[in-house]
């Protein structure tokens, strides 16, 4: 295999991946050509280059994007990520995935995503605040509580959302909490939002385990990516279901322990040391090796393109729950399906985050807040019924879970577009 080919296999362009996933569903649905062309590309794309004053007195220029893929079913919704590898095509793919995600769990939203090319881990808090406030200002021509509502994603968090909310509110002269979700509870955030993505993942794992007859008590779990989604999923599976977390990793590498890792101690250790490496009682494992470990449940919770034709045949997990967006390539999907692995695709597995974002937005709009218990009950109801819809579709159409989820989602968006009609 030549180097170029291997790189193409392992790192395909995420936008092309998203379009190929869409094509599979569009073909099966027999989508009209004009609608297919509309849904296959994005609606609106904003690129901004903007200056930020750094701590050393220099002014650095950053590039950021906000892409709205589709708004047929409601305002655009989706997170903002800060990462050195952000590209416009990545943000396009992530925006498209948001459209399908909101449709598959029936939230009244379209899809969007934002990103800034930067390395937040090397920036001070003050520099991150400056970048966020200026980026928000640049985005203010397209974001808004009824048009496009950002949220956290990779390397952004409730503090980032508080700065976005404050900046947008300063422009208008009064507080507008519903412009962004994932805020701290004290400024209009929702109970349960911080854990929602991981909790949603676990609700779908519970359903998948029931379907394949896997007892989660004592089941072995490997988690790639120990951020907001991965660490919460690990904790809930361990403490609430009695599963054994045998391997976890972050961008620096991973750790393995056959006897099981205590998820809370790992969070604590990572907080103290900046990474998981050297976690007492564990041995090091690479991110690649973690994916192919013998285990019952594999949770890719990091970035795109982790499972490709390069390693899909070596994956041993019975259930692969995609906490990350886009971790599996279409070629890998076919291999995993052929090998009888149950993939819970990203657009359903990680939809808990945007679902509780929706609850947050509704609460902000009515200025009346629910308890965490109510939030978690409503979240469970949406996740389990959506999972059941996808599973039924997969069985009926004899397709993998991703295509089943796409068939539901694309049909809903296409039907909304058709019923709204062509303007003018
Ligand atoms: N960034 C998250 C996702 O990919 C959450 C989006 C949101 O809450 O709007 O689903």
- The rounded percent of the chain whose pLDDT value lies above 70 is 99
Q: Which atom of ligand 1 is nearest to the CA of 350?
A: 10
Q: What is the rounded CA–CA span in Å between residue 42 and residue 114?
A: 13
User: How far is Cα 239 from Cα 249, in angstroms, rounded to an integer?
Assistant: 19
Determine what percent of the chain is predicted with pLDDT higher than 90: 98
Report pLDDT digits (tens) over 291-341. Answer: 999 999 999 999 999 999 999 999 999 999 999 999 999 999 999 999 999
**Ligand 1 midpoint to CA 45 (Å):** 18
Ligand 1 touching residue 354 (CB < 6 A): yes
Position 5 scores a pLDDT of: 85
Cβ 325 under 6 angstroms from ligand 1: yes
The reply to whether ligand 1 has any atom less than 6 angstroms from the CB of 79 is yes
Residue 284 has pLDDT above 70, yes or no: yes
d(CA 71, CA 367): 25
State the DSSP H helix or E strand holding residue 27, giving kind and residue range, or none if neither: helix 14-29
**Ligand 1 pocket, 111 CB below 6 A?**
no
All domains of the chain in start order, with CATH: 42-187 (3.40.50.10860), 196-344 (3.40.50.720)
Ligand 1: distance of its center to the CA of 151 in Å?
6
Helices vs strands, H then E, count in the chain: 15, 13
pLDDT digits (tens, 9 = 90+) for 107-155: 999 999 999 999 999 999 999 999 999 999 999 999 999 999 999 999 9
At residue 3, does pLDDT exceed 70?
A: no
State the chain's mean pLDDT as an integer: 97
Cα of 101 from ligand 1 centre, angstroms = 9
Find tokens 């995420």 and name the residue.
14
pTM, full prediction: 0.98
């Amino acid at each position: 295999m030549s180097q170029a080919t291997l790189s193409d296999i392992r790192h395909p362009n995420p936008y092309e991946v998203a379009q190929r996933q869409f094509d599979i569903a569009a073909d099966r649905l027999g989508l009209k050509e004009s609608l297919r062309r509309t849904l296959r590309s994005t609606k609106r794309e904003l690129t901004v280059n903007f200056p930020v004053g750094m701590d050393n007195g220099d002014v650095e220029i950053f590039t950021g994007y906000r892409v709205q893929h589709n708004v047929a079913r409601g305002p655009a919704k989706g997170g903002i990520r800060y990462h050195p590898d952000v590209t416009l095509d990545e943000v396009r793919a992530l925006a498209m995935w948001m459209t399908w995600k909101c449709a598959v769990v029936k939230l009244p939203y379209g899809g969007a995503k934002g990103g800034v090319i930067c390395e937040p881990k090397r920036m001070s808090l003050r520099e991150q605040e400056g970048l966020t406030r200026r980026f928000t200002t640049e985005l203010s021509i397209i974001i808004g509580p009824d048009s496009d509502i950002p949220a956290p994603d990779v390397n952004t968090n409730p503090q980032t959302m508080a700065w976005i909310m404050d900046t947008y509110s300063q422009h208008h002269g009064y507080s507008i909490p519903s412009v962004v979700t994932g805020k701290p509870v004290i400024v209009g955030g929702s109970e349960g939002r911080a854990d929602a993505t991981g909790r949603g993942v676990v609700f779908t794992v519970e359903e998948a385990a029931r379907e394949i007859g896997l007892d989660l008590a004592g089941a072995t779990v490997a988690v790639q990516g120990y951020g907001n989604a991965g660490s919460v999923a690990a904790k809930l599976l361990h403490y609430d279901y009695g599963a054994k977390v045998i391997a976890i990793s972050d961008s620096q590498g991973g750790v393995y322990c056959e006897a099981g890792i205590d998820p809370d101690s790992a969070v604590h250790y990572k907080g103290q040391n900046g990474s998981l490496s050297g976690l007492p009682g564990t041995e090091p494992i690479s991110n690649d090796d973690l994916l192919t470990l013998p285990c019952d449940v594999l949770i890719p919770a990091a970035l795109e393109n982790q499972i490709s034709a390069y390693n899909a045949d070596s994956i041993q997990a019975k259930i692969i729950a995609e906490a990350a967006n886009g971790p599996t390539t279409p070629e890998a999907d076919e291999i995993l399906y052929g090998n009888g692995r149950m993939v819970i695709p990203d657009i359903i597995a990680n939809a808990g985050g945007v679902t509780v974002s929706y609850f947050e937005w509704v609460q902000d709009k009515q200025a009346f807040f629910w308890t965490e218990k109510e939030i978690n009950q409503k979240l469970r109801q949406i996740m389990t019924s959506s999972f059941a819809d996808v599973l039924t579709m997969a069985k009926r159409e004899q397709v993998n879970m991703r295509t089943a989820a796409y068939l539901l989602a694309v049909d809903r968006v296409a039907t909304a577009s058709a019923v709204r009609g062509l303007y003018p």
